[in-house]
Structure 1
Amino acid sequence: MNTSLRHHLIASVIGLATAALSPALLAQTTAPVKAVASFSILGDLVRQVGGDRVAVDVLVGPGSDAHVFQPTPSQARLVGQAQIVFSNGLGFEGWMSRLLNTASYKGRHVVASRGVKPIHAEGEHDHKATGGHHHEENDPHAWQSVPNVMAYVGNIAKGLCEADAAGCNTYQKNAVAYNAELKALDTDIRATWAVIPATQRKVITSHDAFGYYAHAYGVKFLAPQGVNTDSEASAKGVAQLVRQIKQEQIKALFVESISDPRLIAQIGRETGVKPAGELFSDSLSDAQGPATTYVAMMRANTTALTQAIQGH
């Protein structure tokens, strides 16, 4: 066989082999979209929608408090290299605009809560214990309502489609599937609370992070701290809260995973109510905990809350 014919045959075989590669296999060779999410809960939502096409880095990891976060130079570099950045918005990440400027970030910035109707710190639930602070402050913890997170998912899918048009069909399918899971979660949470009389749905938590949960599921939350853990609980506010716990015989007292437990322990001593455990408000748990994903977090919190109220 002459050299020319041999080269022609080799080229033909390579061409046939390349043509035989499935689109799925070719997609796997594409470098994933580089995404950065501001905190662990949002990072999980981006992963649910992005799937294998998106590599997600989280700035404020499990167990850490985004309210008091201080970005490091290495995190600024990470943001500078990202194709898309996701933040919660509603004032949750007061440091985000400075970080984007420091990183000279020119890519897409998606505010996941876009379109969600905010509630104020003084809103649908009781905030007497805050000592009257934060009257006009938006509550940023919108993810505590599952229907709100379904809106987050739509914003995430739209942002990823704009950053990676080739993967848009995948992102849209993932979003539809995940929203179906979220709808089932919302139904389950409502059914769990339905057996508890409205007058008994009263809970004490470390800081005012559950306003959207309260509004969505008909639960009354009281907290010694406001919506931002960087604020101090006033002595007057704590004293009012202690009196209210005694008067209303509230039995569900929780510390949050990101909070200093000493204040809740003090309230427990003064009221005789033993803390019922830990809730996850602003952060997922580590890999060994019960709240490794958003769905797991909402289920774990709902179980803990309802069992404490029912005295289990």
Structure 2
Amino acid sequence: MRKFIAATLLLSPLFAMAKVPVVASFSIVADITRELGGERVEVQSLVGPDQDAHVFQPAPADVKKLAAAKVFVVSGLGFEGWMPRMSRAAGFKGLTVTAAAKVKPLAAAEEGHHEQDGHDHGSVDPHAWHNPQNVMLYADAIADGLAKADPAGAGYFRQRADAYKTKLKALDAWAAQQFATVPVAKRKVLTSHEAFGYLAARYQIRFMAPQGISTEAEASAKAVARLIQQVKKEQVKAIFFENMADKRLLQQLSNEAGVKVGGKLYADALSSDGKASSYVQLFRSNVETLLSAMR
């Protein structure tokens, strides 16, 4: 009888299923992957909440973590400039999933998009997750990748991806409806770096920033002076800080341009305080914060 019970437990899916070890490049992609993978995956993020993926330098522990993974999920579009070197260092033999593979990229801002130390994003803006419609494409790509790594869970991953996309569709419709209550002429925002191009394009918002696409880009004194003049001329109402950026430059702009600080935006990372601990929370928080200043 005991042998029969033991055999039954071993054959039970609950006991037999080993979770797929997955490494995600940074917190936002990690959250989306957990949403889709559910109980069939174990996801670790290389760059955590409130941390800047632009300046990430892999440590030996990160290389070891990737070497043990079966799936490596990255956003793509050049966002993780350190990714190819890290994969080689780890001798990674698993499946690399590029979440933004089918996203139609936007061109990078003309100024400030050339980076140093291997973090060059080239001519495209990599921050595609700020449009929920793009995250729907992320969901498809990640679900397909997980299904390749775990064929038995293909139906499970697809079901969760479809449910997540339904949630994203409702989120997008809500945001469009909310921004429609503000005249386009008043949808002007000043923030630290050019991270919100996809949000701007989707909801007709104009973003201005002293830095370029990456937080590594240095804002020149001439560029800052020009931006102050522009802010005054166009009557921008508020400046927004980002959760993983240096606040000193924006504080200078706020003081010299006479513009109030409108709140905190989440650009390239989730938060560790629970206010934006998931992608859905991040997006909703950003929309609500922007609207409160625009109105």
Contact 1:131/1:237 (8 A) holds in 2? no
One-letter identity of the residue aligned with 1:142: A
Q: Is the aligned partner of 1:194 residue 2:180?
A: yes
Q: What SS does structure 2 have at the residue aligned with 1:179?
A: helix
Higher Cα radius of gyration: 1
1:166 to 2:156 alignment: no
- Counterpart amino acid of residue 103 in structure 1: A
Residue in structure 2 matching 1:299, options 281, 284, 290: 284
One of 82, 85, 89 as aligned partner of 2:72: 85
Question: Could you tell me which amino acid in structure 1 is paired with residue 90 of structure 2?
Answer: A
1:56 aligned onto 2:43: yes
CA contact (8 A) 2:242 2:264 kept: yes
Do residues 284 (structure 1) and 270 (structure 2) align? yes
TM-score (norm 2): 0.94
Structure 2 distance, partners of 1:169, 1:131, is 44
Q: CA deviation at 1:252?
A: 2.2
Aligned-pair Cα RMSD in Å: 2.0
CA contact 1:245–1:271 (8 Å) conserved in 2:
yes
Give the direction of change, closer, same or farther, for the CA distance of 1:300–1:22 in structure 2 (3 Å limit). farther
CA distance in 1, matches of 2:4, 2:175: 56
> How many residues are treated as equivalent by the alignment?
290
1:87 deviates by 0.6
**DSSP-derived class of the 1:229 partner:** coil
1:252 equivalent in structure 2: 238
Quote how far apart the aligned CAs of 1:132 are: 8.8
Alpha carbons 2:75, 2:99 under 8 Å: kept: yes
Shift of residue 28 of structure 1? 4.7
Q: 1:14 — aligned with what?
A: 4
Cα offsets for 1:97-128 (capped at 9, x unmatched): 00000000000000110010111123xxxx6x
The share of aligned pairs that are identical, in percent, is 46
Match of 1:99 in 2: 86
Evaluate the alpha carbon distance shift between residue 193 and residue 237 of structure 1 in structure 2; reply closer, same or farther with a 3 A threshold: same
Which runs of 5 or more structure 1 residues have no equivalent in the other structure?
1-9
| CA deviation profile, 1:36-57 (whole Å, cap 9, x unmatched) | 0000000000000000100000
Please report how far the alpha carbon of residue 27 of structure 1 lies from its aligned counterpart in structure 2 after TM superposition. 3.7
Between stretches 208-217 and 228-237, larger displacement belongs to 228-237
Query: What are the residue-to-residue correspondences of 1:84-233 with 2, within 5 Å?
Result: 84-122=71-109, 130=111, 137-233=123-219
Alpha-carbon displacement from aligned partner over 1:133-155 (angstroms, at most 9, x marks no partner) = 78962111000110000000000
Q: Deviations over 1:168-224 (max 9, x none)?
A: 110000000000000000001101101000000000010000000001111000000
* Secondary structure of the structure 2 residue equivalent to 1:276: strand
Q: 2:70, 2:94 within 8 Å by CA — same for their partners in 1?
A: yes
Task: Provide the residue aligned with 1:241 in structure 2.
Answer: 227
CA distance, structure 2, for counterparts of residue 151 and residue 157 of structure 1: 10
1:29 aligns to what? 16
| 8 Å CA contact retained: 1:114, 1:155 | yes
Partner of 1:6: none
TM-score using structure 1 length: 0.89
